[in-house]
Copies of this chain bind each other. A is one copy, B any other.
Amino acid sequence: MKPEQILELDAVVHTPIRLAILSILTGVESADFTFLKKTINTTDGNLSTHLSKLEEAGYITITKSFKGKRPLTTCSISETGRKAFLLYINQLEQIIKMQKS
């Protein structure tokens, strides 16, 4: 990888909070909004914004339902999202290799 190829990193994945979300979602079948919010330690508004961005990119699916009378928002990573995430991780590895060579 050449330094200029760093500019090809997927901007949807690269933002730290979205990287954290995808990183959590790759390891589980699904995660609910409250769990993500607590784990990432962010606000409702900020988490919503970034989940929407990931959904728009087709990287996650968001399901809204109810748990008893309380609304439940569940997120899971899509195949497209998983591929984008793995490609990103692969590019990070190339960046590291470039530094160590």
Q: How many residues of A contact B (CB 8 A)?
A: 25
Q: Contact: A98 with B14, CB < 8 Å?
A: no
Q: Contact: A95 with B89, CB < 8 Å?
A: yes
Contacts of A24 in B (CB 8 A): 3
Contacts of A3 in B (CB 8 A): 20-21, 23-24, 39-40
Q: Contact: B92 with A4, CB < 8 Å?
A: no
CA distance A95 to B98 in the complex (A): 17
Query: CB of A57 within 8 A of chain B?
Result: no
Query: CB of A62 within 8 A of chain B?
Result: no
Contacts of A17 in B (CB 8 A): 6-7
CA distance A2 to B19 in the complex (A): 12
